[in-house]
Chain A
Amino acid sequence: MSDALLRIENLRVTFHHGGRTAVAVHGASLDVNAGEVVGLVGESGSGKSLTCRSVIRMLPAEGAMSANRIVFDGQDVLAMDRRALRAHRARSVGMIFQDPYSCLDPTKRVGEQIAETLRVNARMDHAAAKSQALALLEDVGITSPDRRYLSYPHELSGGMRQRVMIAIAVACKPKLLIADEATTALDVTTQAQILSLIQRLRRESGMAVLMVSHDFGVIAQVCDRVAVMYGGYVVEFGPVQDICTRPQHPYTRALLDSIPSLESAGRRVRRAGIPGQPPSLGEVTSGCPFVERCAYATDPCRTMEMVMLEAGPGHTSACPVTVGTRS
């Protein structure tokens, strides 16, 4: 698996504020192969977005990151200088953000924003950039691109803006597309359209996708593999089919149990929620972050080291109890 497109090993993100240090990501490891769709699920504050942003080393101002390795396409992301980093951001990785309503510059026509990316990052001249931008608008399923090219962001619906964002993100044919909660702000119908658009673009261009969501349904629908994050750790990572049918980590099990299924529709079934609250930033210093809410927790869980254990072919989990290495 050394030929992975993206490999993150033991990523740690900390925030320093007023002399106190909060750890947001404790030790996340992840890899994405070329052309693959990898999902990243977890609740708010579990470190999903920070993990994504670390791929292009773009953390909030107070954040600091370290990792054993972050390798993208053979290049060491951590060792990149400013120029290399800009080129990395510009051409290798495309990113879509959660909020389509504020991701576009409100004072520029959307077509020009796409063309700008092509001019700046792909060194196209004005005419080529414009025709390519029109083609991209068409490609992401916007009808009458000629007219929409001249629209301002506020004239478009959320779904259309998200399509424009995608067009900008894929304009320079990145090897990896990071979709950070790309469909969360959209209604379900639009969400399905955007998901199938991303899948189609992936099929056509062969780029890999790292898809962040807190919605297991979305992940199960489009991903090849999925990483489950909790409290700043990747607690389980493996093929999506495998994880859905035989989840290993207690958190993943609880998460899947809390999704309503069609069989239970109409019946008065109370979904099993997860008791308690997720740990707040910096609260957990050692042991498993899920210990307070876990049905399987034992005393050693409070102090154990979080190590990914083999739970099946290509399937790893951080819980020694359920994997069976500790009873």
Chain B
Amino acid sequence: MVAPRRARRRLRRFGNWELTLGLTILGLMIVSGLLAPWISPYPPNQIDILHSLQAPSFTHIMGTDFVGRDVFSRVLYGLRIDIFVVAVITYAGLVIGVVVGTVAGYFGGWLDAIIGRVADTVVSFPFIVLVLAVVAIVGPGLKGVAIGIVFVGWALYSRLSRSEMLAMREQPFMLATRALGYSNARAIFRHALPNLIRSSLVYSTVDVVVNMLVLAGMSYLGLGQQAPGADLGSIIASGQSYLLTAWWITTIPGAVLVLFGIGVSMIGDGITQGDLSMATM
């Protein structure tokens, strides 16, 4: 009991600094993405050949790319679209997975077997390969990548929720919902779901980072955001040939991507820590 008490004391002294810092980083990114049209100094696709490949300066704080587009403006617009897409696909996957997994765990039997095997099949493929396959069917572009990621992403939430549901099904309060003659829908969505969704929410903070990287990776491969649209992956790809002469085009969006990952992970850690201190209170 020494460690939790020490953790709690530390928590009191510093507040939950990980959570605070993570929320600050992510909050700044979301706000700047949302405000991109107003705060970006140049239109993201404005070409200015005369000032191409300029190093970061006061006029172009992140420099310009090979056709003179302002990297800072493109990063802002890239963040805007990336954060939006990642949020939608991650939580679409979460909602689908949690509902499907909870229902499977609650009813069991053949329904559970079918859903379980489908989820196993999806999970057993390498993530990127399956997304690539979906993109091949739907066609390149953010839409294809988004569909692909949701197609894969629900499976882990489904497994997670199913196993939580299996344990919860035998809980007396779930038996009580049956003894009271409540409908299955009420038992699942009103009583089981609020109790088991927390683990999925915590996992989603990891998933957001993974999805962000896959999205950027797809764009980097030219399968996601199509030129001239800006997203972090496509900006990184566009600067690749100039890495030795104009490092900023690739490095700065890359750093932004890393910072995003760190921010979200800190939020995840912060939530878990908060959980711990609440549990021992």
Q: Tell me whether A and B are bound partners.
A: yes
Binding site for B on A (CB under 8 A): 56, 58, 61, 85-91, 93, 95, 97-99, 102-108, 116-117, 120-121, 165, 168
Q: How large is the interface on B (under 10, 10 to 19, 20 to 34, 35 or more residues)?
A: 10 to 19
Q: Which residues on the B side are within 8 Å of A103 (C-beta)? A: 172-173, 176
A-B contact pairs, 21 of them (CB 8 A): A56-B179, A58-B175, A58-B178, A58-B179, A61-B108, A85-B181, A86-B183, A88-B181, A89-B178, A89-B179, A97-B172, A97-B175, A102-B171, A103-B173, A103-B176, A105-B173, A107-B194, A117-B180, A120-B180, A120-B182, A120-B186
Q: Decide: B180 and A168 in contact? CB cutoff 8 A.
A: yes
CA distance A97 to B181 in the complex (A): 15
Binding site for A on B (CB under 8 A): 108, 171-173, 175-176, 178-183, 186, 190-191, 194-195
CA distance A85 to B182 in the complex (A): 11
CA distance A105 to B179 in the complex (A): 14
Among B172, B178, B181, B182, the one with the most A-chain Cβ atoms within 10 Å of its Cβ is: B181
CA distance A143 to B194 in the complex (A): 28
Q: Which residues on the A side are within 8 Å of B172 (C-beta)? A: 97-99, 102-103
| A97-B175, A102-B173, A105-B173 given; 20 more Cβ-contact pairs under 8 Å | A56-B179, A58-B178, A89-B178, A89-B179, A89-B180, A90-B182, A91-B181, A97-B179, A104-B173, A104-B176, A105-B194, A107-B194, A108-B191, A108-B194, A116-B190, A117-B180, A120-B180, A120-B182, A120-B186, A121-B181
CA distance A168 to B119 in the complex (A): 38
CA distance A210 to B123 in the complex (A): 50
- B166: shortest Cβ distance to chain A, in Å? 11
CA distance A121 to B181 in the complex (A): 8
Q: Which residues on the B side are within 8 Å of A88 (C-beta)? A: 181
B180 touches which one: A99, A102, A121 (CB < 8 A)? A121
Q: Which residues on the B side are within 8 Å of A121 (C-beta)? A: 180-181
CA distance A68 to B180 in the complex (A): 25
Q: Decide: A105 and B180 in contact? CB cutoff 8 A.
A: no
- B169: shortest Cβ distance to chain A, in Å? 9
Q: Which residues on the A side are within 8 Å of B179 (C-beta)? A: 56, 58, 89, 93, 95, 97
Q: Decide: B191 and A105 in contact? CB cutoff 8 A.
A: yes
- B100: shortest Cβ distance to chain A, in Å? 21
Q: Which residues on the B side are within 8 Å of A95 (C-beta)? A: 176, 179-180
B181 touches which one: A86, A99, A105, A165 (CB < 8 A)? A86
- A100: shortest Cβ distance to chain B, in Å? 9
Q: Which residues on the A side are within 8 Å of B176 (C-beta)? A: 95, 97, 103-104, 165, 168
CA distance A86 to B184 in the complex (A): 11
Q: Decide: A90 and B180 in contact? CB cutoff 8 A.
A: yes
Q: Which residues on the B side are within 8 Å of A117 (C-beta)? A: 180
- B281: shortest Cβ distance to chain A, in Å? 11
Closest to B197 in A: A107
Q: Decide: A90 and B181 in contact? CB cutoff 8 A.
A: yes
- A117: shortest Cβ distance to chain B, in Å? 6
Q: Which residues on the B side are within 8 Å of A120 (C-beta)? A: 180, 182, 186
Going nearest first, the 9 A-B pairs with the smallest beta carbon separation are: A90-B181, A89-B181, A86-B181, A107-B194, A95-B179, A103-B172, A102-B172, A105-B191, A105-B173
Among A61, A90, A107, A108, the one with the most B-chain Cβ atoms within 10 Å of its Cβ is: A107
CA distance A98 to B171 in the complex (A): 12
Q: Which residues on the B side are within 8 Å of A116 (C-beta)? A: 190
Q: Which residues on the B side are within 8 Å of A98 (C-beta)? A: 172
Among B108, B175, B179, the one with the most A-chain Cβ atoms within 10 Å of its Cβ is: B179
Closest to A99 in B: B172
Q: Which residues on the A side are within 8 Å of B178 (C-beta)? A: 58, 89
